[in-house]
Structure 1
Amino acid sequence: MTTTISNSILTAEIKHTGAELCSLKDNLNKEYIWNGNPEFWGKHSPVLFPIVGTLKNNTYQYNNADYHLSRHGFAREMEFELIAKQENSVTFSLAATPKTKEKYPFDFDLHLVYTLENKTLQIEYKVFNNGESKMPFSIGAHPAFNLPNDFENYSLAFEKENSLKYYLLEDGLISNTTNEASLDKNELHLNYGLFANDALVLKNCSSKSVTILENSKPFLKVSFSDFPDLGIWTPPNAPFICIEPWFGYSDTVDKSGALLDKEGIQVLDADETFHAAFSIEIL
């Protein structure tokens, strides 16, 4: 099941499963979101919650107990409830259940709000801690953007970076090894070799926007001033690029396993609310 919102310029379609953006088209019917062809990657733009990336052995410890969570958490696979709808805006909700508490023992409510304004889609995350104890979590975005022409015709323009320092992954975990990609006037020219070792992970990214260029012409901008971390990813030979604003990332290879000690983790006090947003602007 999906819900559609629109304005005079853009139309967005969101699946109720995962509250996942699955289409963003302009009024010329140009599609900007990856179609989810499983030959490359069967998703479009999943929400990552209550973890981002991979846990060591898919396991963490909390209050002297072991819990198991698969990569990127469970929210992306669950049915969200539609709780508000206007022509250009929609809000979805996911609340804790006995089943989620087997994997993540916290009373949460997660809201995703999609709003179209002119040529921009804003995506808001709201996390409510309805419990009586502190709630550790990570949250992140994973939108995949269509690149219909040759991959090497595209580049990413960073707001601030002069060179790109990123962490390498080792079996899905953050290694202690970094690499550096040279930029051409703040632009990273794309090639599949960049992603031979999985995603590029940028901790505490100083840039708060990334613009996709096709043959040096900007056509889409992702702005993420609320988010500290960033992932960039594509699988081999895929015709899309993921630009992923994150709060947190995979476990490090020398991780202890305690959730409250996890690098990049957010901790929300009882009865408190977390809020963050990012935007996708068509240029």
Structure 2
Amino acid sequence: MIHTLKSDYLTVQINEKGAQLWSIRTEDGTEYLWQGDPKYWEDRALNLFPQIGLCTNNTYTLHGREYKMDIHGFIKDTVLAPAECGDSRLVLACEDTEETRAIYPFRFRYAIAYTLDRQTLDITVTVDNRDSQTMYFSVGGHPGFNLPLEEGLAYDDYCLQFPAGATAKRAECTPGDCIMLDQITDYPLIHDRIPLSHELFARRVLILTDMPRQVTLMSDKGHKRVTVTYPDMKYLGVWKCLGTQAPYVCIEPWTGVSARRGVVEAYESHPDMIHLAPGGHYENHWSIQIV
């Protein structure tokens, strides 16, 4: 089922499958969200839990036992149920099942709340640990945005603009499959920005860390902008279908990343995993502002 939120500025749609954003449209009819062309990428705005990216051989361990985990976890394939519905707010939630416990042996509740206020969509992810053992997980978003957003502009007219004085580092990964290389390098910004081009995504995703927790997708030649704010996310993935002319860019705030090359990661000892004690409650807020 598709749910709709409205303000005086935006109409936002959310799909119960994966609690995935389905549309972000302004009153003038501009569609900001990528609409899932399967030629390039059939999804639109995945929610990621309990894994970000890939596990080596689709496998992780927990206290010495091996489990299988798909890329970006299983929430993306789960139908979440409405816990709260209104004109400007929607909460979708799910709990563990026999199927999830076979690959992720915890009892939990995962929920995502979308709250629309004028031009800003706030996204709040909550996780409740209903188990008797500590839970380990990552959370993140994966929204794609159409480019160009205005007639007469080209893909490479756009950039990712950070606040003044910004610096950033790159978490290095392998081409194609985005397995981490356990290397952090300086990533030079040009006047606090990253110019976008199809060549930027010729071979691999861009994963930033140690950067400001806000970035704006914009063009000096246009007026339409998207600002993504992610105060509690350590990483920012920037991606589109590699080696193509795909007309979108994903701006992806994450708390964690893929496994390291050649390493089957142990969830309980991985430094980027969130540790949630039995009975604990976790929240992470991020937002998308449309101008």
Q: TM-score scaled to structure 1, two decimals?
A: 0.95
For 1:186, the aligned partner's letter is D
TM-fit CA distance, 1:100: 0.5
Gaps (5+ residues) in structure 1? none
Q: How has the CA–CA distance of structure 1 residues 257 and 187 changed in structure 2, closer, same or farther, with 3 Å as cutoff?
A: closer
Q: Where does residue 184 of structure 1 map in the other structure?
A: 190
The 8 Å contact of residues 169 and 197 in structure 1, kept in 2 or not, is answered as no
TM-fit CA distance, 1:180: 4.7
Q: How has the CA–CA distance of structure 1 residues 193 and 161 changed in structure 2, closer, same or farther, with 3 Å as cutoff?
A: farther
Give 3-state SS (helix, strand or coil) of 1:142's partner.
strand
Identity of aligned residues (%): 30
The alignment status of 1:227 with 2:233, answered yes or no, reads yes
Q: Where does residue 70 of structure 2 map in the other structure?
A: 70
Give 3-state SS (helix, strand or coil) of 2:45's partner.
coil
TM-fit CA distance, 1:216: 4.9
Alignment of 1:266-281 (within 5 A): 266-281=274-289
In structure 2, C-alpha distance between the alignment counterparts of 1:97 and 1:68, rounded to whole Å: 16
1:70-104 deviation line (CA, Å, top 9, x unaligned): 11011001110011111100000011000001110
Give 3-state SS (helix, strand or coil) of 1:250's partner.
coil
TM-fit CA distance, 1:163: 4.8
After superposing the two structures, state which structure 1 stretch, 158-167 or 85-94, moved more.
158-167
After superposing the two structures, state which structure 1 stretch, 2-11 or 250-259, moved more.
250-259
1:112-145 deviation line (CA, Å, top 9, x unaligned): 1001101101111001101111000011000001
- Name which of 230, 247, 250 aligns with 2:258: 250
Alignment of 1:202-213 (within 5 A): 202-203=208-209, 205-213=210-218
The alignment status of 1:33 with 2:33, answered yes or no, reads yes
Q: Where does residue 88 of structure 1 map in the other structure?
A: 88
The CA RMSD measured in Å over matched residues stands at 1.6
TM-fit CA distance, 1:33: 0.3
TM-fit CA distance, 1:9: 1.1
For 2:197, the aligned partner's letter is N
Give 3-state SS (helix, strand or coil) of 1:182's partner.
coil
For 1:94, the aligned partner's letter is C
In structure 1, C-alpha distance between the alignment counterparts of 2:165 and 2:114, rounded to whole Å: 29
For 1:255, the aligned partner's letter is V
TM-fit CA distance, 1:65: 1.4
Q: Give the number of aligned pairs.
A: 282
Give 3-state SS (helix, strand or coil) of 2:199's partner.
helix
The alignment status of 1:125 with 2:125, answered yes or no, reads yes
Q: Where does residue 55 of structure 2 map in the other structure?
A: 55
The 8 Å contact of residues 165 and 178 in structure 1, kept in 2 or not, is answered as yes
Q: How has the CA–CA distance of structure 1 residues 216 and 163 changed in structure 2, closer, same or farther, with 3 Å as cutoff?
A: farther
Q: TM-score scaled to structure 2, two decimals?
A: 0.92
In structure 1, C-alpha distance between the alignment counterparts of 2:13 and 2:264, rounded to whole Å: 40
The alignment status of 1:194 with 2:205, answered yes or no, reads no
In structure 2, C-alpha distance between the alignment counterparts of 1:273 and 1:7, rounded to whole Å: 30
Q: How has the CA–CA distance of structure 1 residues 216 and 269 changed in structure 2, closer, same or farther, with 3 Å as cutoff?
A: farther
